[in-house]
Structure 1
Amino acid sequence: MSLKAIPESEIVATVIFSCVSFLLMGIVLVLFFYFSRKKIIQKELEKKDLEIHLQKEQLHAIIITQEEERKRIAQDLHDDISSKLNIVSLNTHLLSAPNLTESETREITENIINLTAKALENSRKIAHNLLPPVFEKFGLNAGIEELCEEFETSKAVKVHYTNKIDFDDNEMDRQLHVFRILQELMNNSLRHGKASEIWISFKKNNGISTCDYEDNGVGFDSKNAENQKGLGMKNIDSRISFLNGTIKISSELNKGFTVTFTF
């Protein structure tokens, strides 16, 4: 059939139909890309909001932990150091009292010396808890070894520690987070887990620094999220976040507690 045989009205209608079809297809594509892009942006915003929320939670946990630590230090200073120094001050004034016998003077002097020695020892312990001198001087490995020895002095727990990582002395700030994580885990094992043995192992897995931690304590149901919301665990999560690491916790009632974290 030749074009001349086709009525002009049909040609116009076909052209209009084609144009409308292309226009509708264009509108559909534009709307599709618009809503797809909107959905992607919305998901990105939700992800950002979640990250900000997690960061706020981590910051909140750190602030609470710091405040608790400050309260503990203030309490130690008030109850122990301050009280002993007050008694030293009183004994010092007694030395200026008239008519003191030689034995009384000797007794007061001995009290002053003993109380001062105890105050010094306790102040060293407080300073040690803030930043262990061995860690500061010799690094993370030595700090952990001393930490294990300190826990073993309680005679309540045996600690097995192995390390196959050469820690970089230029990353002491990051390593302090690792030390504090272990300190928190060991305190939990002893205080809450009633563990009699702890195993700590550092090694490289595919170039990633990894710590495997395990105890033989009473354990808990790790599938219950409420069991992992304590202040100590929030503090650990915050430190793991700072280290750009990951953490995996596994535990069952009466089957101990295992943790693997990277840093």
Structure 2
Amino acid sequence: MPNKGDHNILIIEDNPGDLALVEEFLFEQIESPVLSHVSNFVDAKNVLTNAATAFDIILLDLSLPDKTGTPLIEEIIKVSANAAVIVLTGYSDLSFGLRSLSLGVSDYILKDELTSLSLYKSIVYSTERKRIALALETSEKRARRFAKQLNSVVEEERLRIAREIHDEFGQQLSGLKMSMASLKKNNGVSSDLQPVIEAIVTDVDNSIQTLRLIANELRPALLDKLGLFAAIEWLVSEFERKTGIQSKIYVEIDQPSIDRTTGISIFRICQEALTNIAKHAAASLVSIRLESGVEMIKVYISDNGKGIDTRTLQNSSSMGLLNMRERASLIGAELNINSVPGKGTNIELKIKTNGNEDIDSR
């Protein structure tokens, strides 16, 4: 007995006999299928691009007059929108079948083994898998938006606190230093208190320097004033000063066009990488190379330390690596970490530029 569910199905098939058989099978199992048919890739692309109603299922013959195999699958997937793609083929190549699934195909069925029931089951399962995949994708997008907003709030709060430290506490300490210097200069204290005054002034100077360091750790002023690359150069310089690890930076700049959020994320990834090196690598040499072109920014971070074992690399709970991966994901960047125990670690970050506000042109 035919199922009462409606399905809007596009059949892409150039063999009239196979088309007739597929249509017969569909009407056996589905009460009111809405069927459309094309016999070549060009027509299929036009229909999928301009269709007023979205298709639930695409039944795709693997060999069409104008396109076949992997290129055909890739092109159909691009224009399939939310439809599940089921490949129907006469070629019993298991390895290709598995490869086609990795390209985004929902199912791969041999025509010689096709029955009305197997076709219907494939349609039902493929439709449900696609629905779940789309729901998961929507959920992941929502989570990424939330994480991006959260990062934005955190960065704004860092900026606010850094300014508070610099403007309020910094000015107060500077005022105290001036008062103590004036007191000393005008002989407002006895000679035996002069060393005490000098010690207080020294302590105030140290406190001012500490506050500046804290403010810069929260949000380097260079990042907002001079841009991403200047901030990373400062970061590397500070890393070498604090750790004693020889650090080199190579910058090949071609005015990348990146928005503010992307620039901050790149900086934080570099900061996290250097923090991990200082804590765990036991390295004596670190280098950062920055490359930028019209469409891509690349950041390479390498050290000659003890490396990271495979288990740690694959451990999603490793906070430093997790933070870097999450920040890269939020800006749509590709992050690759390669390490060999005893031979150091190489981190590669690739960011596509999008023509938004240029953080290095302000």
Q: Is the 8 A contact 1:247 1:262 kept in 2?
A: yes
Cα shift at 1:46? 3.8
- Give the 3-state SS of the residue equivalent to 1:192 in structure 2: helix
Question: For residues 154 and 235 of structure 1, do their structure 2 counterparts lie closer, same or farther at Cα, with a shift above 3 Å needed?
Answer: same
Q: Is the 8 A contact 1:197 1:216 kept in 2?
A: yes
Equivalent-residue separation in structure 2 for 1:44 and 1:169 (angstroms): 32
- Letter in structure 1 aligned against 2:133: K
Cα shift at 1:223? 5.1
The answer to whether the aligner puts 1:131 opposite 2:132 as a matched pair is no
Aligned residue pairs, count = 222
Question: For residues 226 and 55 of structure 1, do their structure 2 counterparts lie closer, same or farther at Cα, with a shift above 3 Å needed?
Answer: farther
Q: Which has the higher contact order (CA 8 A, sep 6+)?
A: 1
Equivalent-residue separation in structure 2 for 1:255 and 1:186 (angstroms): 17
The answer to whether the aligner puts 1:37 opposite 2:127 as a matched pair is yes
Question: For residues 27 and 201 of structure 1, do their structure 2 counterparts lie closer, same or farther at Cα, with a shift above 3 Å needed?
Answer: same
Match of 2:333 in 1: 245
Structure with a larger share of its residues in helix: 1
State the Cα RMSD in Å.
4.1
Question: For residues 43 and 175 of structure 1, do their structure 2 counterparts lie closer, same or farther at Cα, with a shift above 3 Å needed?
Answer: closer
Match of 2:264 in 1: 176
- Give the 3-state SS of the residue equivalent to 1:240 in structure 2: helix
Match of 1:26 in 2: 27
Equivalent-residue separation in structure 1 for 2:256 and 2:225 (angstroms): 13
Q: Is the 8 A contact 1:219 1:257 kept in 2?
A: yes
Match of 1:193 in 2: 281
Cα shift at 1:129? 1.0
Question: For residues 169 and 143 of structure 1, do their structure 2 counterparts lie closer, same or farther at Cα, with a shift above 3 Å needed?
Answer: farther
Alpha-carbon displacement from aligned partner over 1:73-94 (angstroms, at most 9, x marks no partner): 9xxx9xxx9xxx8xx9xxx9xx
Q: TM-score, normalised by structure 1?
A: 0.66
- Letter in structure 2 aligned against 1:203: E
Equivalent-residue separation in structure 2 for 1:172 and 1:44 (angstroms): 30
Greater alpha carbon shift after TM alignment, 238-247 vs 198-207: 198-207
Equivalent-residue separation in structure 2 for 1:179 and 1:169 (angstroms): 15
Match of 1:160 in 2: 248
The answer to whether the aligner puts 1:140 opposite 2:228 as a matched pair is yes
Rg: which structure is higher? Answer: 1
Match of 2:350 in 1: 262
The answer to whether the aligner puts 1:211 opposite 2:291 as a matched pair is no
Q: TM-score, normalised by structure 2?
A: 0.50
Percent of pairs with identical residues: 24
Structure with a larger share of its residues in strand: 2
- Letter in structure 2 aligned against 1:247: L
- Letter in structure 1 aligned against 2:326: S
**Is there any run of 5+ residues in structure 1 with no aligned partner, and where?**
1-21
Equivalent-residue separation in structure 1 for 2:127 and 2:189 (angstroms): 93
Match of 2:321 in 1: 233
**Is there any run of 5+ residues in structure 2 with no aligned partner, and where?**
1-22, 34-116, 352-362
Cα shift at 1:153? 2.3
Equivalent-residue separation in structure 1 for 2:344 and 2:260 (angstroms): 31
Equivalent-residue separation in structure 1 for 2:258 and 2:131 (angstroms): 40
Equivalent-residue separation in structure 1 for 2:127 and 2:316 (angstroms): 37
Match of 1:202 in 2: 290
Q: Is the 8 A contact 1:198 1:213 kept in 2?
A: yes
Cα shift at 1:115? 2.2
